[in-house]
Chains A and B, each alone.
Chain A
Amino acid sequence: MIEYCIRIEKAQELEFKNILGISRIYLGNETCPGRFPTKAEITKITKIAKFKELKITILTPLITNNYFDSICKTIKTLPATTEIVINDMGLFNALKDTHHNLILGRLLIPIKKDIRMDITNDYNRLTFFNPDFFNFYLELGFNRFEIDNVQYSYFDTKHESDEFIFSVYLPEIITNIQTNHCNKCKTSIICPHKEKEITNIIYKDDHKEVYPYEIFCKRNYIFYRNYVVNKTLKNNINRIIITNIYELDKIIFK
């Protein structure tokens, strides 16, 4: 059975009315440590989630040194059973002895996400599935792996393994990240701390057979959107995370 989740960063996003079918919240973001929720925000959102009978997963970002202590301190106040998505191995190293419900985030699972993937030769497709990789992280204590809803198939069907459990993020597929913003905005033109999102369509090609997706830029990352979910997901993909609550009604099950 598939568990449907939404990613949020602020409490007011939970006021969005149409969240029928959602059973879990992913609280946080992956690319900006400056936007990690405070303890007070986590407490507030946890109360609302409890009232709405929603479970919570804490989504953590890549973390530069200047944010590390504050984020780590906040997370260590949470119960040890809290589900935490790890996108920085430094955070894993800091939490491994206290928190044991850890998920390997999509930034740490290297799969090719170029929008041109579906026009390449087979050898360029899906080269990420390697049991050595997943066994390594299972031995570290991770119990779930998270990937993007890329436009090609998730697994090489000859090599999939049911012992690895996966979640899939959509519609935003993050392809490139630039991290030189994380110095209190001193050197970045794109400010990650502003409340207003900066989303631009930066590329759209008329040759849709080559580039079927538009590319977008937001904060410090490039992404494309893939709204289509394979209806017949494999048994070991049992969680879907909608990256933006306002795009819930655009998801297509095919």
Chain B
Amino acid sequence: MNKILAPLYPALTPFISEIIENGANSFYYGFIDLGHPSITTRRQSYNRYSSTNYSEPNFIDKNEIIITIHRLKSNNINTFLVFNEHYYNNGVSNFIEDYLTNIIELSDAVIISNPAFFQKIINLGAKRIIASVGTHIFNEESIKFYKNIGADTIVIPRSIRTDEVVKFAKTFPELDFEYLILNDFCPFTDGLCRSFHGFPFQSVCYYTAISDKIGKYKQYGCRLCNLFEILMQNNINLKIAGRGHDPEIIIKNVKVLNEIRANKDIKNKIDFRDFVKNRYINYFGDVCNLNCRKDD
């Protein structure tokens, strides 16, 4: 079965039971120590989420995340620690050993961008390693490289076409793949974006003065329409983007994916797309504008 992977962050923890009941199989989360913001889990800028629509995307209280992980374990739910920042200074090794070791051991996997840290994190007790979308894997040889250094799951960039994702999954049945879905925020390829986000002003890609020009880089959209072939491969899991997003949206995301995943009656792509659009409107009350990069 294709698993649903939901983001986990402090504002979402009151809704964990509801999200699990509606179909989430695992959660991914980040942890930062406010004394070391530049060397911790993924954070392009310290003030990224300045809007009132967003909440803190990372756990900052170590006890809180440990309690939450134990709670999820009691429900047989897996948790994945996000450690996928692109840049680390030379203090990061001490930080990992001093602050993260027991969290690494508790989590079911660690999501990493920087290949130099794969072995280090394994040595600290990581059960599994997931190659983050920040590794920007575009071809089968890259998958082999990251598999060789310890990854058993690959997060695929949104720019990879659906048919290629399916081919990867068939070529490497021993690996799992994570397909990013919903909440498409960034027009750039994650692993190749070296800007700040929202600090101290707006992101380069969303700054109003240049949004007209940046708009010509088409965004990926929700990608629900692409799921027809994806759901035929059991080793492709659905990863909902949006740590720090409105919890109500994440709950709806899980619900709509669970309904789509559960429907086994539709046997052709056209009917499938009508079905997913119908479910999208049901939850989000908005008509799909077909302006995304839907793969044909």
- A217→B213 contact, CB < 8 A: yes
A159 contacts across to B, CB distance below 8 A: 89-90
The CA of A250 and the CA of B143, in the complex, are separated in Å by 41
A136 in the interface (beta carbon within 8 A):
yes
The CA of A210 and the CA of B194, in the complex, are separated in Å by 18
A93 contacts across to B, CB distance below 8 A: 141-142, 144-145, 148
| Residue of A with least CB distance to B209 | A203
B117 contacts across to A, CB distance below 8 A: 132
B146 contacts across to A, CB distance below 8 A: 89
A84 in the interface (beta carbon within 8 A):
no
B218 in the interface (beta carbon within 8 A):
yes
| Residue of A with least CB distance to B93 | A132
The CA of A89 and the CA of B88, in the complex, are separated in Å by 20
Contact of A112 among B157, B167, B196 (CB under 8 A): B196
Distance to closest chain B CB from A79 (angstroms): 21
- Digitize A177-218: 1 where CB-to-B-CB distance is under 8 Å, 0 elsewhere: 111101100111110000000001011010000100001010
| Residue of B with least CB distance to A186 | B296
Given the interface pairs A90-B140, A133-B88, A203-B209, the reply to whether A179 lies near B204 with Cβ below 8 Å is no
Given the interface pairs A112-B87, A127-B38, A182-B159, the reply to whether A187 lies near B213 with Cβ below 8 Å is no
Contact of A175 among B135, B194, B210 (CB under 8 A): B194
B192 in the interface (beta carbon within 8 A):
yes
Give residues of chain B (177-214) contacting chain A, Cβ–Cβ below 8 Å: 187-189, 192-196, 199-201, 204-205, 207, 209-210, 213-214
Give residues of chain A (143-172) contacting chain B, Cβ–Cβ below 8 Å: 156, 159
Give residues of chain A (32-69) contacting chain B, Cβ–Cβ below 8 Å: 62-65, 68
The CA of A187 and the CA of B116, in the complex, are separated in Å by 34
- B159→A180 contact, CB < 8 A: yes
A130 in the interface (beta carbon within 8 A):
yes
* A interface size (C-beta, 8 A): 61
Given the interface pairs A93-B145, A175-B195, A190-B216, the reply to whether A182 lies near B89 with Cβ below 8 Å is no
Distance to closest chain A CB from B44 (angstroms): 8
The CA of A246 and the CA of B40, in the complex, are separated in Å by 41
- A90→B194 contact, CB < 8 A: no
Contact of B194 among A65, A114, A182, A202 (CB under 8 A): A114
- A177→B193 contact, CB < 8 A: yes
- B194→A110 contact, CB < 8 A: yes
- B194→A176 contact, CB < 8 A: yes
A5 contacts across to B, CB distance below 8 A: none
Contact of A123 among B37, B114, B207, B296 (CB under 8 A): B37
A62 contacts across to B, CB distance below 8 A: 136, 138, 192
B143 contacts across to A, CB distance below 8 A: 90
- B194→A156 contact, CB < 8 A: no
B293 contacts across to A, CB distance below 8 A: 180, 187
B115 contacts across to A, CB distance below 8 A: 89, 136
- A132→B116 contact, CB < 8 A: yes
- A92→B145 contact, CB < 8 A: yes
A107 in the interface (beta carbon within 8 A):
yes
Distance to closest chain A CB from B100 (angstroms): 15
- Digitize A124-141: 1 where CB-to-B-CB distance is under 8 Å, 0 elsewhere: 101111111101110000
- B141→A179 contact, CB < 8 A: no
B89 contacts across to A, CB distance below 8 A: 126-130, 156, 159
B161 in the interface (beta carbon within 8 A):
yes
23 contacts across the A-B interface (CB closer than 8 A): A65-B139, A65-B164, A65-B167, A68-B139, A88-B138, A89-B141, A90-B142, A113-B194, A114-B195, A127-B38, A130-B90, A132-B117, A175-B193, A176-B205, A177-B188, A180-B189, A186-B296, A202-B213, A202-B214, A203-B207, A210-B201, A215-B210, A222-B204
Which B residues contact A (CB, under 8 angstroms)?
37-39, 45-46, 86-90, 92-93, 113-117, 120, 135-146, 148, 157-161, 164, 167, 187-189, 192-196, 199-201, 204-205, 207, 209-210, 213-214, 216-218, 220, 293, 295-296
Other 7 A-B pairs with CB < 8 A, given A64-B164, A107-B192: A92-B145, A93-B141, A111-B87, A127-B89, A159-B89, A215-B204, A222-B204
